[in-house]
Structure 1
Amino acid sequence: MSLWSAQDAAQATGGRATSDWHASGISIDTRSLQPGDLFVALSAARDGHEFVAQAFEKGAAAALVSHHPEGVAADAPLLIVPDVMAALTALGAAGRARAKARVIAVTGSAGKTSTKEMLREMLSDFGQTHAAEASFNNHWGVPITLARLDPAADFAVIEIGMNHPGEIAPLACLAQPHLAMITTIAAAHLEAFDDLDGIAHEKASIFKGLTPGGDAVYPCDLPTSPILEAAAQQAGATLYPFGAGADLVRMHDMTQTETALVMRAQIGDTRLAVRLANSGAHFGMNALGCLAVAQALGLDLVRAAMALGRWQPPSGRGLRETITLDAVEQLHFTLIDDAFNANPASVEAALDLLASLKPARAQSGQPGRRIAILGDMLELGPQEAALHKAIGDLPAMSGVDLVHCVGPRMAALHASLPQRKRGRLVTQADDLARIVHMLVSPGDIVLVKGSKSSFVSRVVDRLRNLDVKMRNAKEK
């Protein structure tokens, strides 16, 4: 399939194509580039022009560049533009303009990527659905997602994030969503904002990008919900608030089991139940928001609820796994991989899940432990020490047996813990990863949670490597 021809891409960007070519995809990374992709030579830590020759070796159809790179054949298929980033943005705008899809944009302080994947799963039941890859939600991720959009797709889900004020509205205006959804407002990126109200105003600016007569989906039970509602009204949107106090899209109750979260909701006159496998309660409200999206789009709600039941948390975002230490003796522990990101609200939700689960009994008859491995929460500003320490006061901590802390910020929590709950305190994740085999026992439930830059995902990798099933498979 041809996604972009040289002529179409040149017209969209104002660039000059050196030859006729057709690209079936868009790539900014030679490590994941597929044959037929248009390679976009962005400049970040390294100048992307240094990798153009490698991109052609891997089968790139063409390259979007600002000049003819060294080591590239004189007749190489190029699209030459004054500014690569500006051209990528223009390509994204052209991709959006030619699309027939209903476009849904998602933002929030937590749960953006998980909710995007829930929407992908749900909407795929109703038509061809395109969604952002991984967490492609910034100034280059959103244009790439739009540039990759198949003109024939029925739905498109665009994730929009931010680190600083003023970032969301331009991306929302680029995406021009028919529907915009906010998952929640919580203490994340506080170093760039004065308070939660500031975060809410920034998140609510997603509604500025709505097409005329668009829909606004947002939580109604938060202290900052009035800010979200006012912004949606100002944008002229149709309002779809969701939550326990909502009139139209209301959470009835949630039940946490060992293997799933079961939530019951009332959408207008329709009562629905959704079973979310291996999920904690924090995913229940995200699923309710997805049902609000289904209601706004006029989709069959029962079918939408059944489709949501196929979703489960991916790696790094709450995936629950059984790690076998001894296949013969049937010794194992449970790993909860939530290592991709962290802020006070998402840490509280993860600890709530950990505290709700019952450890298995080991062969000795002794019950396993609930263990939390917590990495630094970043970008919290002047309150970071207090916010880390406050984790120790959460109700769920009474059900946690042991806490290992990773990073200088988590030292505030470690110092506040009672002696019996204090595990290891290390500066870097690698220091804990090296001894992880000493930290777990059969029957344990182990939660790993931290901001991405705390690198606690390396601890997760080492824990997975303890799995004898994985080791045996590699040996074969």
Structure 2
Amino acid sequence: MPKWTVEEIAKATSGTVHHAKGQETVGGVSFDTRKIKGGNLFVPLIAERNGHEFIQSAIEKGAVAAFWSEPLEEAPKNIAIIQVKDTLIAFQAFANYYLNKINPKVIGVTGSNGKTTTKDMVAAIVSAKYKTHKTVGNFNNEIGLPLTILEMDEATEAIVLEMGMSGKGEIQELSHIAQPDIAVITMIGESHIEFLGSREAIAEAKLEIIEGMQEGTLVYSGEEPLLKERVEKPETNRFLSKKRTFGRSAESELYPIKVEAKLKETHFTTNRTPELTCILPIPGIYNVQNALAALLVGEELGIEVPEAYEQLSHFELTKNRLEWKPGWNGSTLLNDAYNASPSSMKAVLRYFQDITVPKRKVVVLGDVLELGDQSKDMHRSIREAIDPEKLDQLVLYGEEMTVLYDELKPAMTEKSLRHFKGEKEPLIAFLKDFLQPKDTVLLKSSFSTGLLEVVSKLSQGEKE
């Protein structure tokens, strides 16, 4: 665990020390009093609740220092206080200071889909040569990214930071904190279109990742016109020294020659080394694009292709993304219910419909959120990826799925197509009654739709 003095933290954040000499040692940082450990710095963030209200709890849990932006006379005197103007800005400045102090190679990863998987792949490849730290879970926002930085070991040589957003300017803020040496943009999809209005605006927002760079390398899809036209602009090139592209064809620098989909694996070869086969321990041919992006990062950091392939063959995917789990009554679940966009939902549907399974194929799709005025059209468009002849049961959940249900009714029977809204208990009860041994079930939705609750209930063992 990294350690700092109170005085060091104060200097890094333009703060002033009170109720302490400044030489006290701090180890670890937390903004959540439920997770504070002895010796931590407490960061009282102001959101729905004012974090300053929890200072006594932080002290009881063992915090030895705290940022403070309220009036000093309201601060407790039995803990080192670092007075700052804004606790979130101080938190971010502290992370930037520590990052510059350790000075690892910084790889930033963003994109509408695939950024978590790509982050995991990049970290696996880079760890072949460098002591590597990466974003855990989805800690990819203005709070999660600085926490990830401050949790890295002092011996870290490379850090892989996922950068998420919901609106304009957020990636720019993260890029200025992280100052990436290499930036990856996986793809431009429809995620967050409710807030940004168009795919063009999403492309602009994702490209903000370069704004904290100084002569860095950008890795991006060479077949995405919204990126290609923007990357060539002078205002973009001033941040970059190199651009690397991946894609599906010779239009890009790195592309697949052969792709083979297996039940739980994906095999591919590339134009660079067609004699070598890369085996990904996850399903879905769309993950080849994520792997290509990661391979280009590896090349930038001097990692040879055979070594990179070996790392990818056993990389660990973040939980709840294409996760195979034992299911109810001897079924098998493919859990991908953590995040979704129309494009990612179509991709996983096409994969699932084409694989061979022991018995019946069951698909459970929940609402895709944050699509704004385009929600109906985008949910309706999922129909193009569904082949009723390849599914034994399709279950839709949520209000937004109503339009897809209406689209599918003429092509499917009442028994093979079901739609649930509201409480999840009827959906869970139906699935528990329907599922038989050796059935294979895909579950896909946006996180906020709550389908992970269904996954949890279907993962709880045998039929009673």
Equivalent position amino acid for 1:5 in 2: T
Question: Is the aligned partner of 1:16 residue 2:16?
Answer: yes
- Runs of 4+ in structure 1 deviating by more than 6 angstroms, as ranges, are 68-72
**Structure 1 pair 62–439 and aligned structure 2 pair: CA distance change class (3 A):** farther
C-alpha distance in structure 2 between counterparts of 1:278 and 1:424, whole Å? 29
Name the counterpart of 2:106: 103
Deviations 1:112-170 (A, max 9, x none): 11211222222222121111222122222222223334443110111111111222122
C-alpha distance in structure 2 between counterparts of 1:122 and 1:428, whole Å? 43
Q: CA deviation at 1:68?
A: 7.9
What is the number of equivalent residue pairs in this alignment? 454
**Structure 1 pair 48–431 and aligned structure 2 pair: CA distance change class (3 A):** farther
C-alpha distance in structure 2 between counterparts of 1:396 and 1:178, whole Å? 43
Question: Is the aligned partner of 1:386 residue 2:392?
Answer: no
Name the counterpart of 2:214: 211
Give runs of aligned pairs for residues 284-303 of structure 1, distance below 5 A.
Answer: 284-303=288-307
**Structure 1 pair 216–2 and aligned structure 2 pair: CA distance change class (3 A):** closer
Equivalent position amino acid for 1:239 in 2: K
Name the counterpart of 1:442: 437
**Structure 1 pair 122–58 and aligned structure 2 pair: CA distance change class (3 A):** farther
C-alpha distance in structure 2 between counterparts of 1:437 and 1:140, whole Å? 39
Question: Is the aligned partner of 1:254 residue 2:252?
Answer: no
Deviations 1:444-476 (A, max 9, x none): 1111111111011100110111358xx9xxxxx
Name the counterpart of 2:457: 462
C-alpha distance in structure 2 between counterparts of 1:280 and 1:344, whole Å? 16
Q: CA deviation at 1:323?
A: 2.8
Q: Does the 8 Å contact 1:354/1:400 carry over to 2?
A: no
Question: Is the aligned partner of 1:311 residue 2:315?
Answer: yes
Question: Is the aligned partner of 1:125 residue 2:128?
Answer: yes
Q: CA deviation at 1:256?
A: 0.7
2:256 counterpart SS class: strand
**Structure 2 residue corresponding to 1:402, chosen from 358, 371, 393:** 393
Q: CA deviation at 1:103?
A: 0.4
Q: CA deviation at 1:23?
A: 2.5
C-alpha distance in structure 2 between counterparts of 1:302 and 1:336, whole Å? 29
Identity %: 30
1:237 counterpart SS class: strand
Name the counterpart of 1:29: 32
Deviations 1:405-424 (A, max 9, x none): 22110111112213423123
Deviations 1:219-266 (A, max 9, x none): 112343413532554533301101222453222221111221112123
Output the TM-score relative to the length of structure 1.
Answer: 0.88
Deviations 1:370-413 (A, max 9, x none): 11111111111211011111212215554223221221101111
Q: CA deviation at 1:69?
A: 9.8
Question: Is the aligned partner of 1:321 residue 2:319?
Answer: no
Q: CA deviation at 1:98?
A: 1.4
**Structure 1 pair 437–10 and aligned structure 2 pair: CA distance change class (3 A):** same
Equivalent position amino acid for 2:156 in 1: A
**Structure 1 pair 377–153 and aligned structure 2 pair: CA distance change class (3 A):** same
C-alpha distance in structure 1 between counterparts of 2:101 and 2:388, whole Å? 51
Question: Is the aligned partner of 1:369 residue 2:360?
Answer: yes
**Structure 1 pair 53–72 and aligned structure 2 pair: CA distance change class (3 A):** farther
**Structure 2 residue corresponding to 1:62, chosen from 58, 65, 68:** 65
Over aligned residue pairs, what C-alpha RMSD do you find?
2.4
Name the counterpart of 2:349: 351
Q: Does the 8 Å contact 1:411/1:425 carry over to 2?
A: no
**Structure 1 residue corresponding to 2:402, chosen from 384, 408, 411:** 411
Question: Which deviates the most, 225-234 or 18-27?
Answer: 225-234
C-alpha distance in structure 2 between counterparts of 1:72 and 1:466, whole Å? 51
In structure 1, list runs of 5 or more residues that go unmatched.
326-331, 361-367, 472-476
Equivalent position amino acid for 2:85 in 1: P
Name the counterpart of 1:5: 5
Q: Does the 8 Å contact 1:429/1:454 carry over to 2?
A: no
**Structure 1 residue corresponding to 2:243, chosen from 239, 251, 254:** 239
C-alpha distance in structure 1 between counterparts of 2:220 and 2:96, whole Å? 26
Question: Which deviates the most, 24-33 or 235-244?
Answer: 24-33
2:368 counterpart SS class: coil
Q: Does the 8 Å contact 1:437/1:466 carry over to 2?
A: no
Question: Which deviates the most, 158-167 or 43-52?
Answer: 43-52
Output the TM-score relative to the length of structure 2.
Answer: 0.91
Q: CA deviation at 1:109?
A: 0.2
Name the counterpart of 1:329: none
Q: Does the 8 Å contact 1:103/1:176 carry over to 2?
A: yes
